[in-house]
Amino acid sequence: MKKTIQNGKYRYRPVLFFALTYLFTWIFWIPAAFVPGETGAPLMMIGLIAPAVVSTAFVLLSGSDALKKDLKNKLIGFYKVRWANVFLAVGVFALIVAVSILLSLAFGQKMNQFSFTDDFSFTGVGVGSALITILAASVIEEVGWKGYCEDSIGNYMNWFWESLLFGVIWSFWHFPLLFIKGTYQAGLMVNPLYVVNFFISGIPLGYIITWVYLASDRSILACMIFHLFVNFMQEKIAMTPETKCVETIVVIIATVIIVMKKKDMFFETRHVGRLPDEVSIKGEMSK
């Protein structure tokens, strides 16, 4: 990694981060598509932790004390979490699911979607591996995406455009999972509409999780909790693929409302070009 300290100040490198994250994820996920059943589970898990590994390496090798201190604070600064906002976000997503199911009734879907599924969608990797994967995706992923990624993009633009760019890149990061038998994404291949919906749905979610992140003073724990709840709801609530298409529309509407309510958060530029120790995060970025 080239030296990134110029004139005594660290410069974020989001393009290199995403290139390495994709590389070290996909070199494990692509082979996993060609091995049978649970044999691919270790490869999937290694690929899943790639963002966290790359993110941590970027911070530790940055030569910036500010970034190292900031990562530590985001990981262990539990006091920073604004629980009321986390619970609000969880409640918003639960409402999104409920409204989506109710709207789907007009399209011939059933009320029994208000129930829990018996199994996980990750059937090909075993129940144990499925549960671990869901937990890891909620916890380990956020170390990568919030440890370095989002701030690296946000250092060059406001949080509105950062959320859009992150949502697109994060969504497409899952692409190889379409070809790994037994994954949730592979199950969508029965209908191109389901595949398209999956990738589109990740974009508005990028805005919602940015809201959770900033409102809790950039706490990784807050994002882990929200991500875990979203994964659980998507896996265990018996929504049909058709209803999840309706859900994407509802998520987009919710995102528009959140962005309009939090205009100063999403459109401010006070943080652009500044390191964590140069901006009063609590006072300026969580409004």
In angstroms, the CA 14 to CA 182 distance is 32
Please pick, among 141, 142, 162, 247, the residue that the annotation labels catalytic: 141
Q: Show the 3-state SS of 58-118.
A: HHHCCCCHHHHHHHHHHHHCHHHCCHHHHHHHHHHHHHHHHHHHHHHHHHCCCHHHCCECC
Count how many Cα atoms sit within 13 Å of the Cα of residue 201 in the half-sphere of its side chain: 23
- 174 is a catalytic site residue: yes
Task: Please give the single-letter amino acid code of residue 244.
Answer: K
In angstroms, the CA 92 to CA 261 distance is 14
Task: Please give the single-letter amino acid code of residue 154.
Answer: G
CB of 67 closer than 8 Å to CB of 56: no
In angstroms, the CA 271 to CA 152 distance is 11
Cβ count near 80 (within 10 Å): 18
Element (H or E) spanning 9, and its range?
strand 9-10
Please pick, among 142, 150, 162, 174, the residue that the annotation labels catalytic: 174
Q: Catalytic amino acids? A: 141, 174
